[in-house]
Structure 1
Amino acid sequence: MNKAKEEFKEILSKLERSNIPFSQLNKSTVIKNFKFNHHKLVLQPLMFGCVFLLPYFLMMNLNFSENCIIDMPDAIRKILRQPEYCEICVDVYKVDKISSISPTEFLENYVKKVHPVVVTDGAVNWSARSIFNFKFFKEYFHKFEIKKHSDKNCQFFPYHTEFRSLREAFNVSESRALSNEKEKPWYIGWNNCNDEAGRYLRQFYERPYFLSNLTESLALSWIFMGGPGPGAHMHVDNVHYPSWQAQLRGRKLWKLAPPPECHYYCNNLEIIVEPGEIIVLETNRWYHQTIILPGDISITIGSEFD
């Protein structure tokens, strides 16, 4: 609770420095915003009823074998998110960097505790490190391109770019693909939903050695690629299991934040993941943001495991 006390002291300190008489505070816009409006007391329950009952009605009347009519907004997902137990982040002051760890030790020390970790020798010998680049994935995309009528479950993340599809992203100029300084920065991600393509990529990487006694999805789940600049914004995923992400090229700064309910008990963390390293993180419980550091284009592959 020390963090809460410090923030409250800072608020009081700013108030004292402002020299605003307490008698004038009641006239301030901030205080007025806190006052109740009797009309709002009637409208707010109706609004909340629509927000919570409409999704329930849709779920009861939709065929779950079909795609959703509308994706649930992030704001609603946050409201409906289950509260976290802060044991996952209490007394975690840094992201460990480890190597030569056995699957059993890894399971006990990190997976079960839901602690983020970077395995420095996780991908050092993978051939993907020298083979994967923008040109490789462009050719891979055209080779295994999924027809529009069958890619309904595939996801594409444009992040801060103007791209509307993976096809558009792979049609950029060579100069922009190489992230030349005069070009607009770019960063994208997509999930592989083609088992044949997943098996093709599998020849260039291995199952992470520290997960050898754990199960993993057949096909590679995610690929992230982009030049120096902002990566993914601060967010939490909506997935079933923890995941690993192997940094094949480039350097990426990860910023981690605890769940909101643990704000006053846990610390924000930062870690730089270097080429050949693998970060393992419970992305549906730890909030995370990425920044691509100056230098080579960043290429990351990853998958969930249970």
Structure 2
Amino acid sequence: MTTTRSNQKKVQQQQKDMEYQEKLKLLDEELMSFYQYCQQVGFSEAEMDMIVAPLVATLRKSLMKKLAKVFGAVLTILALCYCAAQLGSVSMHFAALGRLFMIKLLPFWDWTSMFYESCLVSNPFYGEYTLTEEDCVSCEALEHVDRLGGVAYEQLLDGYLNRDAPLIVVDAMESWPVMNTDDFWFDNITQLYLQDEKLVDTVPCILTTNLRTGSSDLHAFLKRIHSPKVDKWFVHWQNCDIHAVKALRKFYQRPYFLSSSVSPAHFNWVLMSSDYNTKIYKKVELDSGLIMLAQLRGSTAFRLTPHNPCNSSCPELLGDLQEGEMLVFTNFMWTFEYFPGRNLDNVAILTETVWEEGST
């Protein structure tokens, strides 16, 4: 019985299709006859355009209505998908399906090389500076990191930055309000991210910690360390979202020794730890530029290693950054690594600023 009904529907559909095709064929023949008649009578092209203008306008309106319906349907589907993606469980399934699709795509297109690229489109005007053995003369005689106070910008520029020599400024943060606040702690950082509406969905570009969070969800991590049951941890993350970069600036200021012509930091980092005793250095992947590490609480042990080929002729520089001190260097020459001090609470902020060698 069901098969019979199905066959009847197919026959009816075929009849409708045949009727539709016959109507189109008849309409096409009539239009051709009308066109030939107009040519025989002697109508010009302009006159023929005027005659068929109402028909053309009607066809265009019909086509536009169809396109509007299709476009509206596509927008509705996309809007529904976007709203659904805001739900945690749905978003997780979408991400899983997307990963499966990308994996299935590998036999036809190897996208893995693009995944690890920092820029998808190369800039023809950008040329990355490469160290040569001639550059190593600036660091081969360095034995330690100098500690100075009352530093003038010209002194910093000529004596250190233009010579690729790092420096610790011991009085860089004396006027900062955060340094004169006794109750500053992790709560100040966590509340900044948990209470600011613009930072609710912020995702750090890089997050490294010994606590297994299962994702780069900064909010989940901050809520976790807020619990008194969690101890012996460290974390550092990079803010590259503009709202997060601006929000963190409330905890630091432009150092007195830096010229106003130097642009503000384009990225910033937070380095925090609690009772995390280790001697294993943690590498921080920094963009090339002017790097300033401000120690707000506790201390940080650091190691600066020369890039290849200068690592064979220049020594590693080791040092300790104490509360209120700031490490300043350009990382054209140096790789930065650190491990948290043995204090119960350690908080530092690192900034990355665009810097051209020989800037004045």
Pairwise same-fold verdict (TM > 0.5): yes
- In the TM superposition, residue 136 of structure 1 has moved relative to its aligned partner by 1.3
1:71 to 109, 112, 116: 116
- Residue 304 of structure 1: aligned partner: 352
1:259 to 304, 307, 311: 307
Question: What amino acid is aligned across from residue 305 of structure 2 in structure 1?
Answer: A
Paired residues, what number? 228
1:187 to 234, 259, 270: 234
Determine the C-alpha separation between the residues in 1 that align with 2:229 and 2:131: 42
Q: Which has the higher helix share?
A: 2
The sequence identity of aligned pairs, in percent, is 21
Determine the C-alpha separation between the residues in 1 that align with 2:152 and 2:237: 31
- Residue 118 of structure 1: aligned partner: 168
- In the TM superposition, residue 234 of structure 1 has moved relative to its aligned partner by 5.4
- In the TM superposition, residue 198 of structure 1 has moved relative to its aligned partner by 4.3
1:127 to 177, 180, 185: 177
- Residue 297 of structure 2: aligned partner: 249
Q: Which secondary structure state, in structure 2, belongs to the residue aligned with residue 112 of structure 1?
A: helix
Residues 265 and 352 in structure 2, CA contact (< 8 A), matched pair in contact too: no
Change (3 A) 1:176 1:104: farther
Change (3 A) 1:160 1:133: same
Residues 282 and 339 in structure 2, CA contact (< 8 A), matched pair in contact too: no
2:263 to 208, 212, 216: 216
Question: What amino acid is aligned across from residue 222 of structure 1 in structure 2?
Answer: W
- In the TM superposition, residue 156 of structure 1 has moved relative to its aligned partner by 3.1
Question: What amino acid is aligned across from residue 126 of structure 1 in structure 2?
Answer: W
1:91 to 129, 137, 141: 141
Determine the C-alpha separation between the residues in 2 that align with 1:276 and 1:295: 15
Question: What amino acid is aligned across from residue 164 of structure 2 in structure 1?
Answer: V
Determine the C-alpha separation between the residues in 1 that align with 2:244 and 2:323: 24
Change (3 A) 1:201 1:147: closer
- Residue 158 of structure 2: aligned partner: 108
Q: Which secondary structure state, in structure 2, belongs to the residue aligned with residue 247 of structure 1?
A: strand
Which shows bigger deviation, 155-164 or 195-204? 195-204
- In the TM superposition, residue 265 of structure 1 has moved relative to its aligned partner by 1.4
Question: What amino acid is aligned across from residue 212 of structure 1 in structure 2?
Answer: S
Determine the C-alpha separation between the residues in 1 that align with 2:341 and 2:241: 31
5+ residue gaps, structure 1: 1-56, 63-67, 74-79, 178-182
Residues 226 and 298 in structure 1, CA contact (< 8 A), matched pair in contact too: yes
- In the TM superposition, residue 279 of structure 1 has moved relative to its aligned partner by 0.3
5+ residue gaps, structure 2: 1-108, 119-127, 356-360
The yes-or-no answer on 1:229 pairing with 2:304 is no
Change (3 A) 1:203 1:138: closer
- In the TM superposition, residue 127 of structure 1 has moved relative to its aligned partner by 1.7
Residues 199 and 243 in structure 2, CA contact (< 8 A), matched pair in contact too: no
Residues 230 and 290 in structure 1, CA contact (< 8 A), matched pair in contact too: no
Question: What amino acid is aligned across from residue 273 of structure 1 in structure 2?
Answer: L
- In the TM superposition, residue 141 of structure 1 has moved relative to its aligned partner by 0.7
Determine the C-alpha separation between the residues in 2 that align with 1:287 and 1:276: 23
Q: Which secondary structure state, in structure 2, belongs to the residue aligned with residue 94 of structure 1?
A: coil
Residues 283 and 337 in structure 2, CA contact (< 8 A), matched pair in contact too: yes
- In the TM superposition, residue 91 of structure 1 has moved relative to its aligned partner by 0.4
Determine the C-alpha separation between the residues in 2 that align with 1:287 and 1:205: 24
Which shows bigger deviation, 221-230 or 194-203? 194-203
Question: What amino acid is aligned across from residue 205 of structure 1 in structure 2?
Answer: Y
Determine the C-alpha separation between the residues in 2 that align with 1:218 and 1:258: 23
Residues 237 and 283 in structure 1, CA contact (< 8 A), matched pair in contact too: no
Residues 118 and 277 in structure 1, CA contact (< 8 A), matched pair in contact too: yes
Determine the C-alpha separation between the residues in 2 that align with 1:87 and 1:211: 26
Change (3 A) 1:205 1:146: closer
